[in-house]
């Protein structure tokens, strides 16, 4: 049995805090409801939008003329265990950070660097969430989905997910086709490999006087860094980084560096480097700029913000203006990371 609500306000269901209305809305708590949903005549004639925590979407229209399907499938199940390793199958509607805390408490290693990322477990494979030297693909074994096209449940192995930097099959051809119901993670139970290469983590651990590394210590350090850098969506509406960090050819970087001596970069391979988009945007003078009740965050130029009552279309226009100025000044095309609805 499936119930579709009509004209549901989405303001509290997206971390940007944008006012928009779902023409139809339903909550899925059990994967079997998905078949019933697909058989509903309204589902067949309207576009679908799967929604988790709403922390990576920008609603640009007053009304979404389709069905918003809110994912609330819960549960953490141990599906396999071996010497030193454990496999957990996790309901896509679990909150990502709560899952990370569960792992830290049970001494399961692999997700601690991804502490405090907002949103749901089910959205994590969508853009292959990443932070502080780790991407979620590093610990994913498989992703369980309901395929709206064939009305079947599938298990997609990691290699078939086409994971890349903030990319996956779910963001491309699988978008709004695959409803992710569960994610299976492969985690370490002992001899954890700690990833503290990201400079700021080491600094914080030293300040915290940590002599022996633990999952909790790494998680605490990441949480401290994130709290100092990123705006809390409860206080200021935002969706994290609005753009991806662009990868450019090394020869272009060398040419730009002649004019912009301070331009930072991270090596990607022998012929490409990644440039922090936050730096490019700051150089174009956008950092801290406010236009009415929206703007570019004062401490992190990669984050666009809604100070309250902001309009999604206006934020999209601001993002487009930022892209244009980076293109004009540096000849670099910024790609939006946030999903524009």
Best CA proximity match to 185, nearest among 115, 93, 31, 80: 80
Q: Judge whether 241 counts as a catalytic residue.
A: yes
Q: Find the binding residues for ligand FAD in span 172-231 (CB under 6 A).
A: 178-180, 230
101 Cβ contact list (under 8 Å, min separation 6): 115, 219
Candidates 185, 256, 287, 341: give the one binding ligand EPU (CB under 6 A). Answer: 287
Point out the catalytic residue in the list 94, 112, 135, 337.
Answer: 337
The H-or-E segment that residue 39 falls in is helix 33-39
Q: Find the binding residues for ligand FAD in span 29-58 (CB under 6 A).
A: 49-57
Q: Judge whether 150 counts as a catalytic residue.
A: no
Angstrom distance (rounded) from CA 319 to CA 239: 13
Pick between residue 123 and residue 296 the one whose CB is nearest to ligand FAD: 123
Q: Find the binding residues for ligand FAD in span 242-271 (CB under 6 A).
A: none
100 Cβ contact list (under 8 Å, min separation 6): 111, 112, 114, 115, 116, 117, 219
In total, the chain counts a number of residues equal to 341
Binding mask 235-274 for ligand EPU (x = CB under 6 A): -----xx--xx------------------x----------
The answer to whether the CB of 292 falls within 8 A of the CB of 314 is yes
Q: Is 130 in the site for ligand FAD (CB under 6 A)?
A: yes
Q: Which stretch binds ligand FAD (CB under 6 A): 30-38, 113-121, 276-284, 290-298?
A: 113-121
Task: Transcribe 219-268 into DSSP letters.
Answer: HHHHHHHHHHHS--TTTSEE-S-SBPPPEEEHHHHHHHHHH-TT---EE-
State residue 102 phi and psi, 5-degree precision. Answer: -60, -45
In the complex, what is the shortest distance from the CB of residue 88 to ligand FAD, in angstroms, rounded to a whole number? Answer: 17
Q: Judge whether 337 counts as a catalytic residue.
A: yes
- For residue 75, the 8-state DSSP code is -
Count the residues of the shown chain that bind ligand FAD, applying the rule CB under 6 A.
Answer: 34
221 binds, among ligand FAD, ligand EPU, none (CB under 5 to 8 A by kind): none
Point out the catalytic residue in the list 241, 258, 317, 328.
Answer: 241
Point out the catalytic residue in the list 120, 144, 166, 219.
Answer: 166
Residues that bind ligand EPU (CB under 6 A): 131-132, 229, 240-241, 244-245, 264, 276, 278-279, 282, 287, 300-302, 337
| Active centre residues (catalytic) | 166, 241, 337
């Amino acid at each position: 049995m499936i119930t579709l609500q009509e004209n549901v306000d989405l303001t509290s269901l997206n971390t940007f805090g944008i006012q928009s209305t779902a023409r139809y809305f339903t909550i899925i708590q059990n994967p079997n409801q998905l078949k019933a949903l697909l058989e509903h005549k309204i589902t067949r004639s309207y576009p679908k939008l799967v929604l988790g925590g709403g922390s990576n979407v920008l609603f640009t229209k007053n009304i979404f003329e389709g069905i918003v399907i809110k994912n609330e499938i819960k549960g953490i199940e141990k599906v396999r265990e071996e010497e030193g390793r454990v496999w957990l199958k996790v309901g896509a509607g679990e909150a990502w950070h709560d899952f990370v805390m569960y792992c830290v408490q049970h001494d399961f290693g692999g997700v601690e660097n991804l502490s405090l990322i907002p949103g749901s477990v089910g959205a994590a494979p969508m853009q292959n969430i990443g932070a502080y030297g780790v991407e979620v693909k590093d610990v994913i074994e498989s992703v369980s989905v309901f395929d709206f096209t064939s009305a079947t449940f599938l298990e997609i192995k990691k290699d078939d997910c086409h994971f890349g930097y903030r990319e996956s099959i779910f963001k491309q051809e699988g978008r709004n086709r695959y409803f992710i119901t569960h994610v299976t993670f492969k985690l370490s139970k002992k001899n954890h490999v700690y990833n503290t290469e990201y400079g700021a983590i080491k600094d914080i651990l030293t300040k915290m006087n940590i002599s022996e590394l633990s999952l909790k210590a790494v998680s605490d350090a990441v949480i401290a860094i994130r709290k100092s850098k990123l705006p809390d969506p409860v206080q200021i509406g935002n969706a994290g980084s609005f753009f991806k960090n662009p990868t450019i050819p090394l020869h272009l970087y060398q040419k730009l560096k002649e004019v912009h001596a301070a331009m930072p970069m991270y090596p990607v391979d022998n012929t490409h480097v990644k440039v922090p988009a936050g730096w490019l945007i700051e150089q174009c003078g956008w950092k801290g700029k406010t236009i009415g009740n929206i703007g570019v965050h004062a401490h992190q130029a990669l984050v666009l913000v809604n100070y309250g009552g902001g309009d999604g279309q206006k934020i999209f226009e601001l993002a487009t203006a930022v892209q244009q100025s980076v293109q004009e000044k540096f000849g670099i095309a910024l790609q939006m990371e946030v999903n524009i609805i």
